Amino acid sequence: MPTGRASRAPDPGAARRAEFEALHARLGREVWAIAYARWTDPDLALDVTQEAFLRLWKQWEAGETIENPRAWLLRVARNLAEDHAKSAFRRNGTQPPELLNGVRSAQPTPAEALEREELFARIRAELEGLPPADRDILTLRYALDYDATKIAELLGVAVTAVHMRLSRARQRLADKLGPLDGYTPASGTHT
């Protein structure tokens, strides 16, 4: 006998949602506690809890049967907390793009590299015009990076003589080079 009301078919998702909500109410604090115990950060623990329950929901939606949801959720929460420890974001963080735009590379810009190569080519050309004794002492000091004591041993002279010869050789090279467009010999940089 009709009652005048249209009967509705039961919503198959309603039972699943009710089961999920009951599971969340029953296990949510326990899952949160697992993540909190690892990091002692309540916000992070909440994120891990939400992600664990989201993954459970996705597994159910994919048709997976999870026999023991409590054990599954606790294992997923533990794994998520550990994954957070390994994440590059946690180790390195992030900076706003405006700050990173001001970071200068350790490598010279192409223009600086070209300028430096041109300067070195000019220095090498002028070195060829110096007397052999000046070239030798400048090469030992600046190309091979020997200190004055080592140079003195190699040349069989006193350390003070090495300093004097280096000073004179640098001065003769500087006279040949002349001014170098903003290059300051003391600092070795351009201004």
pTM of the model: 0.43
Distance between CA atoms of 12 and 63, rounded to whole angstroms?
13
Residue-by-residue pLDDT tens, the chain, 191 positions = 555 555 566 676 788 889 889 999 999 999 999 888 887 888 888 999 999 999 999 998 898 888 999 999 999 999 998 887 777 566 666 666 666 666 777 888 889 999 999 988 888 888 888 898 998 899 899 888 999 999 999 899 999 999 999 999 999 998 888 876 555 544 454 44
Give the domains, in start order, of the chain with CATH numbers.
14-87 (1.10.1740.10), 110-190 (1.10.10.10)
Q: Tell the burial category of 129 from Cβ atoms under 10 Å away from its Cβ (0-12, 13-18, 19+).
A: exposed
Distances (CA, A) of 163 to 127, 136, 137, 143, 145: 18, 14, 10, 16, 14
Give the count of alpha carbons within 13 A of 26, CB side only: 9
